[in-house]
Amino acid sequence: MSADSNSGNKSFWPVKTAFKEKIVVLYDALLSGDQPWLDNGHYWDDFFLLKVNAKYLLEELDRNYVEKPAILKPQLNTIFDQCLVFVNSAHRIRQLNAYYTICVLIHAVSRVNQRNGFGHPALDFLCGSEGAENKFEILIESVNHTFLIDDSLSGSTLLKNAAFDVILTCCTTMLNINENMLMDYMMANANLFDSITQLIIRSPASHGYDICLLLALLLQYHKYDTSNTYIVRFSVFDDEVALTSLAQVIGSSLCEYNKAYDIERTANESSSWWSSLTTFVGSAIQSTGGNRRMKKVDDCLLLAFYEAVHLNRNFISALTHTATNSWGTKSSSSSDILPPSLPAMATPATLMTQEQTDFSDMDDFSGSNNLLSVFLEYCSIIQQFSKNEDMCNTTKLCYLILLCITEDEFANATMHDENVIFSVYLHKAPMRHRKQNNEKNSPSRPLAVALLDLTMEFIWSHMMRNFPYDLYTKCIGIIQRILSFQKRTRTRLSYSWRPLWNALITLLKFLQNCESQLAKHRDLFQLASKIINIFNLFITFGDTFLRTPEAYDEVFYETVRCYHIFDNLFAFACRYANNDNEFKESALKLMVNLTNIKLITHHFNTKIEAISNNQNNPLTENQVLEIIRNNYDTLALKLHDDLDQYDIYSEKATEASFLANITRNIIGNYRRQYSLDTNSTVQLSSILLNEVPTIS
């Protein structure tokens, strides 16, 4: 045969086909409608012994769902039923692969049912409508059993991770958690609550994040209905060890973030660290490396934190409990520590050069720190970036936590206890009119001092065109609750109040100057009334909770010194009160609240002007203070009622939609970050397969 004839015969050499994994061959057979298990009694034993190819299976399920749904449904039901058999297998590799296969099946069905919700049709396609409740009861009981496996068992951490993958996949099938029918089965199995509360005691470092995420999601499902048993169970939960472990999980992650932030801030100071911050904001979102369980600490842990302080009265003692334990977990670079919705402060390459740190290392979260002190520092960081919508939501969630804390009597008592002191470093946003303070050795003081400083810093740093009205309302509400506690209990906190008064007065001036931009859609008079009532509280009852008589005199001094701001505010309110508009009632209320301040400024200014004119020289501060002290007797004020009263925080009335949006973002972030394209299930299967010689 000639060379030419050989070259022209295209079929002489056999066509090479790509080799397929054995599991891929089995997938193809199953999805084509074959039933190979009828001829092979060990078929499923072999099937679940093979490493799951999650990416391929998911793609084929998506394709067959569109092209051959009638063939796919019975096959899917059969695979799901067999998974339920092997999730209770004594062979750990088969059990692990059964868990991973269930994850893929649920994920595939949920992806094509986002519009209609995960209801009866989706459930029927997944596992059949008959006996679905019993099937998920078997699955959840298997997960409960896996959570309680002794840690000494080889491969137990991987099995628990896989069990969390299953249960979290069930909880995140729909962005709107109330449209997820699988959550009904979670509600019906209260043993899940017992197993995760036991697990957080035994393995907080390994599984703390997943427990907080799962708990937060379970508490959101139809949370305003009586059918959510987890809300009832969690609200009366009083296991001090478990609650302390929960506080440590949250606190250690926040502490590690604070540490990573400070390292990068310090490293960038020599090259305009603010510019570096704004340049790389969001780079943590773009980063795809690292352990997925260290990515979403802001939303997930903060929501769990919020639910703990909002629902569980017993958590307050854990909140203010000094951490003494230390435990570590898997190492990761500091780039993994930074949550995706928080600003990264350096490029990934820069971060990778830092020494590896532990996500839950308690060395810094011990001795002189507790959850609340670490949380206050964390708040001081994120509130700097609240111009970003995601950061604004995170800041709001933090302030909701602080609102709940300041409404609790025990928490307030602890924060004001001068025997319970902490050194809390509050980060401050760079501003042109002040120097950046890099000194981290803050004196140890009661936590109420740090909280007041935090609110004052927020007031100073957020007077901007895009005015965060909602955040300011909550910030002022926190101050009001602290003062209400002090007045009610006659607690005299050692605090320099003057800077806070100046901040509040400056805020009032800002509201007037920016009236045209701010008054269109916001009730500025309501916010101003809250601020004026704070001054009324100091004026009327300050002698019962201010530390010294001099501090009480200074309230009047600052009021008189800035009389023109209060006069302008009164005129501002008059303009709206005398015309028909949506803010007329609020403006009238503000005018009434300003009554005492108007009396004070008129009374003392008359005395000051008379004395000043007689000596033909401007009066010094000490001279004005002396005039104030000598003329209290002739000052007549109106006694305002209920100055120490405030509207008790009501989540359902004010924040239901906000928390629903936070939950939606958490689920969306989980689904994106735990993308099956990352082959995380394959990698975990490989790890367990490598341990075959040691785990039987």
| pLDDT value for 696 | 43
Is 174 within the bounds of a domain?
yes
Is 34 within the bounds of a domain?
yes
Distance between CA atoms of 663 and 221, rounded to whole angstroms?
10
Is 459 within the bounds of a domain?
no
Is 251 within the bounds of a domain?
no
Is 385 within the bounds of a domain?
no
Is 520 within the bounds of a domain?
no
| pLDDT value for 508 | 96
| pLDDT value for 501 | 97
Query: What is the SS3 assignment for 118?
Result: strand
**DSSP symbol at 370:** B
Buried b (16+ CB within 10 A) or exposed e, 598-608: eebbebbeebb
Distance between CA atoms of 624 and 630, rounded to whole angstroms?
10
Is 52 within the bounds of a domain?
yes
Question: CA nearest 553: which of 506, 497, 595?
Answer: 497
Is 575 within the bounds of a domain?
no
> How would you classify residue 16: left for phi > 0, otherwise alpha for psi between -120 and 50, otherwise beta?
beta
| pLDDT value for 263 | 84
Question: CA nearest 519: which of 568, 582, 594?
Answer: 582
- What's the total number of domains in the chain? 1
CA atoms within 13 A on the CB side of 86: 27
The whole-number mean pLDDT for each consecutive block of 10 residues of the chain, a chain of 696 residues, reads 48 59 90 87 90 88 86 92 93 89 92 78 87 93 94 83 93 92 92 95 91 96 88 95 93 89 75 51 41 50 96 90 46 39 35 35 55 94 89 94 96 94 88 67 91 96 91 97 96 96 96 86 92 96 94 96 95 91 92 95 92 82 94 90 89 93 93 60 53 49
577 Cβ contact list (under 8 Å, min separation 6): 584, 587, 588, 591
Q: Which residues pair with 180 in a beta bridge?
A: 118
| pLDDT value for 5 | 47
Residue range of the domain that includes 38: 22-190+660-688
∠ at Cα 105 (104, 106), nearest 5°?
A: 95
| pLDDT value for 506 | 96
| pLDDT value for 15 | 55
